[in-house]
Each structure stands twice: as structure tokens, then as C-alpha cells.
């Protein structure tokens, strides 16, 4: 199995993606990585690993920046590292893709070159949150579709549930709708209608509405929302976790007493930091595309790229995409469009 890695995508590229690839192949002798980007630059960062049997280089002469408009950039920069790696997925020369580049451009490139799964109207951008009482929370959509229809939300529920079952090994993932209250009649029309359809949908363990304050409590494995709400939730959780941890660390340095307390609390603080650190989660899949594409945080370090490569490898090793596609087709009749 070979995974294509966008070596020029992300704030710390190309150093972080290249180092992440080296970390990943060191830990997995069966993993092969194709680094896509400026051949001279990638080779320089690889050093002695440039001739490693598990690593290959695919040249690309352009880069899509974080400030580029997604669709025009994908169409104009056809030889960018991002477009080239997705085209390699389309051609079958790689089996999955990892990138920390421009999120909108990655989704646009995926839509253009590998397309959607049958039965999916709008693919979803996902994020994995830590959870107090469970493995974590898969939130979707977090930015791809700002104005979802009820059918889109139902599709997201299906995709998230199938991903948890087939890739993460969760037998009966709980699925909830992110809403302003737990009552069935809460929220705008699209949420109320999606609630009714999910309540009647077989094959999904729907647990109803989830309030934002419950998001990290583990009540649901999959939480569904529109892209605007999901993106706000994602950035709020990231910011609050960062600021709280900063304030707690500062509080333990005020006096000898608080420093002593800090030493006692250090193991717990480290565990909290690990849970809230997106670098440990690696990346999250773009669900609904007809190919496996993982998106890493723009500020990902080498260890995040290594983790994302491991996740993509696990996805491939389970042949989960074929089963998700087949099971989604079986549910096509309940995820159709509506006027």
C-alpha cells in the first residue's frame, strides 16, 4: 500500500511532511510513501532517506497557498503538489492521500479528480475531538457545506456511522445532531427534518440532539451539523483548550506552593494536554469522496503527519472503503435530495 503525501502543504512544509514520512516508514515496514512536491527541495530534506526503498518522490512545480481561492487554484495550478497527489490517487499510483494544505482546495481537487461516492450529494469535512468518557468524537461537517439540506445531514450521519464502524471498529456508534437544545422540536427547519428522518432510519443508533456543552462528554461518537456551525465549534474548542492550558500552567508558577502543586498535577496536565493536542490525532478524513483523503491541521508538525499516514494505512488495510461504498449504496433510497 502506497500513500501520497503533499510535501508542500501546511505551515511547516516541506520539513514537517518529509520528517513525518520518515517517522512513519521507520515505524511500519509495510508502508510506502510518495512525497509530492519540488523534487530538489524534498530530496534535500530527505537526506539519506532519499534512496530509502519505502519512499518515492513525485515532482510538482507549483504550490497552492492557504490564501488561494480553492476552485480557481485547483483549475489553474494543475501541477501543484496538492493537485498532483490527488491525480495520483485518481490514476491509482497511490492508494490514499494526506495533505495539510488549503482545505477548500483539497476538497475541490477531490471532487474534481476522484468524485463523490454514489448516493452522496455533498462530501463532508470532518474533525476528531477528544472526549472525556470515550475514544473521541467525530464531528461533521466542519466547513465544506455551509448551508446543508436535511438530506445532507442524514448523509453525514450515515457516513460518520459507517466510518466509525468500518475503520475505527466501533460496533454501534451513537449519532447525534448538534443543536441548541435536546428537544426534538428545537432548531431550524433542516435540523428538525433531519431529526425526524434519522429517528426512523434503520442501521443508525440515533441518540437525538446534542447541545454544544455536551460535545466532549462522549454521549455521541458522531455529531452532525452544518459546516458553518461545525467550523465555529472546531475553532472554539481548539482556542479554549489552548487558552485554558496556558492559564493553568501560568497559575502553577505564581509561588512555591503553586509550583509544588504543579509538580503533583504534572502527570494529569500532561494527559489533558495530550488529549487536546490535535498533533496526536493526525488528521481527519474527507468523507463521501470516492477515494481516501486525510486532511491534517495547517500547523501540523512531523508527528501529526506520521499519525495521519498511520491512520490512512489502517483505513486501507481494513479495505473499509469498499464496504462503506457498498453499505452506502444500500441506503441510497433514504438519503436522496429534496426540493
Q: Establish whether domains 1-120+288-339 and 122-281 are of one fold.
A: yes
The pLDDT value given to residue 206: 96
pLDDT at 335 exceeding the cut of 50? no
pLDDT at 16 exceeding the cut of 60? yes
Is the model more confident about 76 or about 216? Answer: 76
Average pLDDT value for residue range 309-326: 92
Rg for the chain (alpha carbons), in Å?
20
The pLDDT value given to residue 166: 94
Q: Domain limits of the chain?
A: 1-120+288-339, 122-281
The pLDDT value given to residue 119: 86
pLDDT at 296 exceeding the cut of 50? yes
The pLDDT value given to residue 249: 67
Average pLDDT value for residue range 32-52: 96
pLDDT > 90: what percent of the chain? Answer: 66
The pLDDT value given to residue 218: 84
Q: Which superfamily does CATH assign the domain made up of 1-120+288-339 to?
A: Isopropylmalate Dehydrogenase (3.40.718.10)
The pLDDT value given to residue 283: 85
Global pTM value: 0.87
Average pLDDT value for residue range 106-120: 93
pLDDT single digits (tens) 129-141: 877 777 789 999 9
Among 95-99, 239-243, 305-309, 322-326, where is mean pLDDT lowest? 239-243
pLDDT single digits (tens) 193-224: 999 999 998 889 999 999 998 888 888 999 99
The CATH class given to the 122-281 domain equals alpha beta
pLDDT single digits (tens) 269-293: 666 555 555 556 678 899 999 999 9
pLDDT single digits (tens) 141-168: 998 888 899 999 999 999 999 999 999 9
Q: Which residue, 280, 274, 284, 271, is CA-closest to 168? A: 284
The pLDDT value given to residue 269: 60
The pLDDT value given to residue 279: 59
Amino acid at each position: 500500500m502506497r500513500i501520497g503525501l503533499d510535501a508542500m502543504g501546511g505551515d511547516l512544509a516541506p520539513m514537517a511532511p518529509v520528517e513525518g514520512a520518515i517517522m512513519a516508514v521507520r515505524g511500519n515496514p509495510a508502508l510506502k510513501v510518495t512525497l509530492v512536491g519540488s523534487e530538489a527541495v524534498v530530496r534535500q530534506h530527505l537526506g539519506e532517506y532519499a534512496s530509502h526503498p519505502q519512499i518515492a518522490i513525485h515532482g510538482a512545480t507549483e504550490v497552492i497557498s492557504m490564501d488561494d481561492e480553492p476552485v480557481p487554484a485547483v483549475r489553474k495550478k494543475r501541477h501543484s503538489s496538492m493537485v498532483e497527489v490527488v491525480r495520483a490517487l485518481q490514476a491509482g499510483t497511490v492508494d490514499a492521500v494526506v495533505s495539510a494544505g488549503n482545505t477548500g482546495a483539497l476538497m475541490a481537487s477531490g471532487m474534481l479528480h476522484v468524485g463523490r461516492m454514489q448516493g452522496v450529494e455533498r462530501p463532508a469535512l470532518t474533525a476528531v475531538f477528544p472526549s472525556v468518557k470515550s475514544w473521541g468524537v467525530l464531528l461533521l461537517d466542519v466547513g465544506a457545506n455551509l448551508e446543508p439540506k436535511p438530506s445532507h445531514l442524514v448523509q453525514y450521519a450515515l457516513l460518520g456511522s459507517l466510518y466509525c464502524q468500518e475503520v475505527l471498529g466501533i460496533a454501534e456508534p451513537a449519532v447525534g445532531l448538534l443543536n441548541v437544545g435536546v428537544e426534538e422540536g428545537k432548531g431550524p427547519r433542516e435540523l428538525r427534518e433531519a431529526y425526524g428522518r434519522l429517528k426512523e432510519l434503520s442501521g443508525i443508533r440515533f441518540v437525538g440532539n446534542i447541545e454544544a456543552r455536551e460535545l466532549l462528554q462522549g454521549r455521541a461518537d458522531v455529531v452532525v451539523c452544518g459546516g458553518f456551525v461545525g467550523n465555529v465549534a472546531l475553532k472554539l474548542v481548539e482556542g479554549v483548550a489552548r487558552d485554558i492550558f496556558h492559564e493553568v500552567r501560568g497559575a502553577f508558577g505564581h509561588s512555591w506552593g503553586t509550583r509544588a502543586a504543579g509538580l503533583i498535577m504534572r502527570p494529569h496536565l500532561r494527559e489533558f494536554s495530550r488529549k487536546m493536542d490535535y498533533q496526536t490525532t493526525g488528521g481527519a478524513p474527507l468523507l463521501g469522496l470516492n477515494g481516501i483523503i486525510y486532511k491534517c491541521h495547517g500547523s501540523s508538525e512531523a508527528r501529526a503527519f506520521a499519525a495521519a499516514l498511520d491512520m490512512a494505512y489502517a483505513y486501507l488495510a481494513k479495505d473499509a472503503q469498499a464496504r462503506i461504498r457498498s453499505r452506502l449504496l444500500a441506503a441510497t433510497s433514504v438519503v436522496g435530495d429534496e426540493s
